[in-house]
């Protein structure tokens, strides 16, 4: 057994109760501490933590960060979470659950600055850093032992202390051998956590968790799995890979692999291109859901075309809207497999748009983007809809025809309706 002291980074063999160097009792134990090198870092209650840092009076109070009375909760501190407040909850509901919460409007500039500071600290350790959102990222510290004179686990403990000291907020760290397991680990011990999963123990650690704990398994797929008897990850582990492929195609294969802790995605520091997107500002503000849905389709096609041109696919799909009062909002969904297909982008973003058009708000801009980019594989499959393989083939056939005969060679019904409206 090995232990790591989170207060002085000392890593040694044994079963100490307190650190022999600094007497701290903040120790973690794991036999693979000296060897594992892929980590996921996620800030705790990020926006709320920054607000507490900047106003110490808020320290012991429940804090919610979000927009006005009609808005939603962006995040809240862990004190407010005790009352059941959660991200994306309507503000009126959050205030009902936690009436004495202090509500603060988001200050994007401050959060971006903290995010930049954190990224810089990670990049001081290795260039293999991949930030996937404003407050989380992956780092692959393989081969850095000699350069830094200590194991990745020790470097990460030091990183957490440095971020507390210099940025003024806490992070949670998950250490493992691949991205998926590192992310699962970082969620296990939040806040101010440090958890380790050795890929060899993945099956037993993941087994008791619900299938929905696997990133990319959305509510629709989870309920389909439940109907088929797959509620826990151990249910997926109990069948062989072939039968999962038989039931759900490539989606079944990916699910089976994740259930066994397998993830071949590398931590890729793609510094050149972080995202691909397309957006459109309207001549007149639009509140009709149907019209917005048509515009959504055309930005999905444009984004997909750009992604195909660059040969990339993205794991995160983002819908962007700007209201007639210039309020910007973004909604993101993470997929289990990267996509570059317009059909998938549309299926993912349409329900997000539907939610935002419930109140009859007028919008002046719509956009769709993909991020967490990777080189596109031959076939991008996502778990939400196993029928994707057929549609992917159809979409590629359309692309081929367009390459050969020009853009107008193949037009979807939706795009034609859009053009007819524009002509009118």
Binding site for Mg(2+): what residues are annotated? Answer: 42, 135
Question: Residue 386 corresponds to which tokens in the numbers above?
Answer: 């196993």
**Residue 395 in contact with Mg ion, rule: CB under 5 A:** no
| Nearest residue (CB) to Mg ion, 135 versus 250 | 135
Q: Least distance from C-beta 135 to ligand TTP, angstroms?
A: 4
Distances, alpha carbon 367 to alpha carbons 19, 32, 71, 242, 292, in Å: 52, 44, 20, 39, 11
Q: Least distance from C-beta 71 to ligand TTP, angstroms?
A: 10
DSSP state letters, 247-288: HHHHHHHHHHHHHTT----------S--EEEEEEEEEEEE--
Residue length, the chain? Answer: 424
Q: Least distance from C-beta 50 to ligand TTP, angstroms?
A: 8
263 contacts which partner out of ligand TTP, Mg ion, none, CB within 5 to 8 A by kind?
A: none
Identify each DSSP E strand in 111-268 by its residue range: 129-133, 136-140, 171-176, 194-196
Contact 40, 173 (CB under 8 A): yes
Binding mask 19-58 for Mg ion (x = CB under 5 A): -----------------------xx--x------------
Asked about 187 being catalytic, the answer comes back as no
Question: Residue 205 corresponds to which tokens in the numbers above?
Answer: 């650690």
Q: Least distance from C-beta 46 to ligand TTP, angstroms?
A: 3
DSSP 8-state class, residue 260: T
**Residue 135 in contact with Mg ion, rule: CB under 5 A:** yes
75 contacts which partner out of Mg ion, ligand TTP, none, CB within 5 to 8 A by kind?
A: ligand TTP
Q: How many CA atoms lie within 13 A of 62 on its CB side?
A: 16
Distance, CA of 382 to CA of 379 (rounded, Å) = 10
Distance, CA of 210 to CA of 255 (rounded, Å) = 12
| Nearest residue (CB) to ligand TTP, 75 versus 176 | 75
Question: Residue 60 corresponds to which tokens in the numbers above?
Answer: 């012991």
| Nearest residue (CB) to ligand TTP, 43 versus 392 | 43
Which residue out of 136, 250, 337, 395 is catalytically annotated? 136
Applying CB under 6 A, the residues found at the interface with ligand TTP are 42-47, 74-75, 87-88, 134-136, 190-191
Question: Residue 42 corresponds to which tokens in the numbers above?
Answer: 């996620």
88 contacts which partner out of Mg ion, ligand TTP, none, CB within 5 to 8 A by kind?
A: ligand TTP
**Residue 118 in contact with Mg ion, rule: CB under 5 A:** no
Contact 239, 110 (CB under 8 A): no
Binding-site residues sit at 42, 135
Interaction site with Mg ion (CB under 5 A): 42-43, 46, 135
Provide the annotated active-site residues: 136
């Amino acid at each position: 057994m090995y232990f790591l002291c989170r207060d002085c980074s000392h890593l040694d063999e044994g079963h100490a109760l307190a650190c022999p160097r600094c007497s701290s009792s903040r120790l973690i134990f794991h036999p693979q501490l000296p060897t594992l090198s892929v980590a996921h870092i996620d800030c705790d209650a990020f926006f709320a933590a920054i607000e507490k840092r900047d106003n110490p009076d808020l320290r012991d109070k429940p804090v919610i960060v979000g927009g006005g009375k009609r808005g939603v909760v962006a995040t809240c501190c862990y004190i407010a979470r005790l009352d059941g407040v959660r991200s994306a909850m309507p503000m009126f509901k959050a205030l009902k659950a936690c009436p004495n919460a202090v509500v603060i409007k988001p200050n994007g500039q401050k959060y971006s600055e903290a995010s930049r500071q954190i990224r810089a600290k990670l990049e001081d350790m290795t260039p293999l850093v991949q930030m996937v959102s404003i407050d989380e990222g992956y780092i692959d510290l393989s081969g850095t032992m000699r350069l830094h004179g200590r194991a990745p686990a020790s470097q990460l403990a030091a990183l957490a202390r440095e971020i507390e000291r210099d940025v003024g907020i806490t992070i949670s760290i998950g250490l493992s051998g691949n991205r998926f397991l590192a992310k699962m680990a970082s969620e296990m011990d939040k806040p101010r956590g440090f958890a380790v999963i050795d890929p060899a123990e993945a099956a037993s650690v993941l087994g008791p968790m619900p299938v929905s704990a696997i990133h990319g398994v959305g509510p629709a797929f989870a309920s389909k799995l439940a109907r088929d008897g797959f509620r826990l990850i151990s249910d997926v582990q109990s069948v062989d890979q072939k039968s999962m492929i038989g039931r759900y195609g490539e989606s079944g294969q990916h699910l089976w692999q994740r259930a066994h802790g397998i993830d071949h995605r590398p931590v890729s520091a793609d510094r050149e291109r972080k995202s691909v997107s397309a957006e459109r500002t309207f001549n007149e503000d639009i509140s009709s859901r149907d019209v917005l849905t048509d515009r959504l389709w055309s930005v999905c096609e444009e984004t997909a075309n750009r992604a195909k041109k660059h040969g990339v696919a993205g794991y995160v799909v983002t819908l962007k809207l700007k209201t007639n009062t210039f309020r910007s909002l973004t909604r993101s969904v993470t997929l289990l497999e990267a996509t570059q297909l317009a059909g998938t982008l549309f299926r993912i973003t349409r329900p997000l748009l539907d939610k935002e058009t419930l109140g009859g708000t007028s919008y002046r801009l719509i956009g769709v983007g993909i991020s967490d980019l990777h080189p596109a594989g031959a076939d991008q499959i996502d778990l939400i809809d196993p029928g994707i393989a057929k549609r992917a083939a159809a979409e590629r056939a359309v692309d081929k025809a367009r390459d050969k005969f020009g853009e107008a060679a193949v037009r979807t019904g939706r795009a034609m309706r859009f053009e007819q409206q524009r002509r009118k």
